[in-house]
Amino acid sequence: MEFLNDQQHSFYDENGFLVLPAHLPAEIIEQAHVEIARLSEHANLISGSDDLIDVEDSHSPDAPRIRRIKRPDLQSDFFDKLMRSDLILGPARDLIGPNLRMHTTKLNMKKAEFGAPVQWHQDFAFYPHTNDDVLAIGIVFDDISLENGPLQVFPGSQKGPLLDHHYDGVFTGAVDLPGAGLNMKDAVSLTGPAGTITIHHARTLHGSALNRSPRDRQMLFYEMMAADAFPVMGGMTKFESIDQYDELMLCGEPTKQPRLKEIPIRIPQPQPAKAGSIYEIQSQSGKPGYVTYEEVKQAT
């Protein structure tokens, strides 16, 4: 083990998530804020989402409202280097082994006053793989409390079924909590100071509320998996060629021998009319929506 102790490892195995408070030094967080400001400038030039930035419905170039910076690792050497650092890969290696491949990266902005919710979902519903050594590491750039839309998870849900993320026969990437017999009060909010990292298993049910508070909640997710977890056909993982796929290796050795595990999966097909970011996909679901902060407060 490089970073985690046995207790943290067992906690992750049991609950499907882990929080490492103030894991990243203040200099990295300061630099990250400078990079986020730089990447955000592009929003002044666009009137709708493009390959670099996903914008809120209420966005305009004069009053930019960024929902997500897409693939920050490709847009910034800083975020690429951070992803490849031991600070990030060390805990991941401790949990899922030495050979790691990137899935994708995204920086969810959840800005003060209007930052969009992310509906309850399991990442594995979007990208099923041959085994579930698949996780996402979240980097917290602002202090997060209950008010500004923390990531919320259902402990232990990674051991349960892959829930229905379809609506009207189409994949819309959102779970109807009451319909699945779940109550939001059983979810845990992952709060902590800037510099905290969260880790969640790809089968862990999670989401986050609207940010109506006066404080931003900017959080970057590095998604990765064991190199022998291969995407299942029909999933949303990009796979153009084995060469391109092996370029996504973060550390260790690639393999051409997928490891199979008996786990529940569903295929996210057919895809909805607009198959863009998770926000666009989920907006096409007629399921009861995620929660506002007021609902979070009432339920907890």
Contacts with ligand AKG by CB under 6 A lie at 106, 108, 118, 151, 206, 208, 219, 221, 278
Q: Which is nearer to ligand AKG, 59 or 206 (CB)?
A: 206
- Residue 30 CB, nearest distance to ligand AKG (Å)? 22
Task: Please state the closest distance from residue 224 (CB atom) to ligand AKG, in A.
Answer: 14
CB of 158 to ligand AKG, least distance (A): 14
Q: Which of 71/259 has CB closer to ligand AKG?
A: 71
Q: Cβ closer to ligand AKG: 205 or 226?
A: 205
Residue among 141 and 228 whose Cβ is closer to ligand AKG? 141
Question: Residue 38, CB half-sphere, CA atoms under 13 Å: how many?
Answer: 12
CA angle 59, 61, 63 (to 5 degrees): 60
Q: Can you say how many angstroms the Cα of residue 206 is from the centroid of all Cα atoms in its chain?
A: 9
CB of residue 2 vs ligand AKG: minimum separation in angstroms? Answer: 26
Residue among 48, 73, 85 nearest 220 (CA) = 73
- Closest residue by beta carbon to ligand AKG: 208
Sign of the alpha-carbon dihedral angle for 46, 48, 53, 57 = positive
Our CB check for ligand AKG shows the closer of 228 and 278 to be: 278
Minimum distance between the CB of residue 198 and ligand AKG, rounded to whole angstroms? 9
In the complex, minimum distance from the CB of residue 45 to ligand AKG, in angstroms, rounded to a whole number:
24
* Nearest residue (CB) to ligand AKG, 182 versus 228: 182
- Cα 158 to chain center, whole Å? 15
